[in-house]
Amino acid sequence: MEDKLKKTKIIFVVGGPGSGKGTQCEKIVQKYGYTHLSTGDLLRAEVSSGSDRGKTLSAIMEKGQLVPLDTVLEMLREAMIAKLDTSKGFLIDGYPREVKQGEEFEQKIGAPTLLLYVDAGAETMTKRLLKRGETSGRVDDNEETIKKRLETYYQATEPVITHYKDRGIVRKINAEGSPDDVFKEICTHLDQLK
Ligand code: ADP
Ligand code: MG
């Protein structure tokens, strides 16, 4: 089990809130058949369950802050193990959110094969999130929380990209264009993985 986890293909999908990670992961799943795991979705599922842990998590997410590392990593690991036998590889969406999360992931799970850096400007991300907020029902898709999420992103998450650059696994994707244009660029990188 542990061995298999170490050998599997792992793709980190890193980018700011609203950069289009979820949108692109959906397309990647369709074309390449990888298993998509969004830490945000996993956390929101825990919140919906109404558990005590979920209530604590919801309060943190509403403030645009990062939830405790151990909680996210444990959820991710459990989800990966559950899908390991049938998976062609994992798309890890929204993780690592800080360098420490990446280090812990590598210790407990394995090393990333590739990091897709989904890059959109703050203005674009804000616009997309406000639009998404009209229908998403997410507690963090409002103007005030978006500001804080962007701060958290620039302060904690951007250093993740620098951290992995030296390994030569970072692929920067211009995410300002249409979903299809962004996806085309992603494909040029994923096609080289096979
Ligand atoms: P993330 O998972 O990175 O937070 P999402 O994929 O949920 O971002 O995208 C946020 C919002 O922006 C969604 O409402 C989505 O429809 C929209 N969106 C995503 N990518 C693009 C794009 N390339 N162009 C325009 N809108 C986009
Ligand atoms: Mg998302």
Q: Report the separation in Å between the CA atom of 105 and the middle of ligand 2, taken as the mean of its atom positions.
A: 19
From the CA of 118, which ligand is nearest? 1
Per-residue pLDDT at 5 = 80
Per-residue pLDDT at 1 = 65
User: What residue type is assigned to position 92 of the chain?
Assistant: I
Q: Are 120 and 23 in contact (CB under 8 A)?
A: no
Per-residue pLDDT at 116 = 98
From the CA of 129, which ligand is nearest? 1
Q: Report the separation in Å between the CA atom of 60 and the middle of ligand 2, taken as the mean of its atom positions.
A: 17
Spatial distance between the Cα atoms of 117 and 51, rounded to a whole number of angstroms: 33
In terms of Cα–Cα distance, which of 34, 40, 36, 37 is closest to 17?
Answer: 40
From the CA of 19, which ligand is nearest? 1
Q: How far, CA to CA in Å, does 108 sit from each of 30, 42, 122, 146?
A: 28, 18, 33, 31
Pocket of ligand 1 (CB under 6 A): 15, 17-23, 128, 131-132, 175, 177-179, 182
Output the tens digit of pLDDT for each of the chain's 194 residues: 677 887 889 999 999 999 999 999 999 999 999 999 999 999 999 999 999 999 999 999 999 999 999 999 999 999 999 999 999 999 999 999 999 999 999 999 999 999 999 999 999 999 999 999 999 999 999 999 999 999 999 999 999 999 999 999 999 999 999 999 999 999 999 999 97
Residue 161: partners with Cβ closer than 8 Å, 6 or more residues away:
14, 115, 117, 170
Q: Are 114 and 193 in contact (CB under 8 A)?
A: yes
Tell which one of 12, 116, 128, 132 to mutate to probe ligand 1, the residue whose CB is within 8 A of the most ligand atoms.
128
| Atom 7 in ligand 1: residue holding the nearest Cα | 22
pTM of the model: 0.94
Q: Which atom of ligand 1 is nearest to the CA of 131?
A: 14
| Atom 9 in ligand 1: residue holding the nearest Cα | 20
Q: Are 112 and 169 in contact (CB under 8 A)?
A: yes
Spatial distance between the Cα atoms of 139 and 58, rounded to a whole number of angstroms: 8
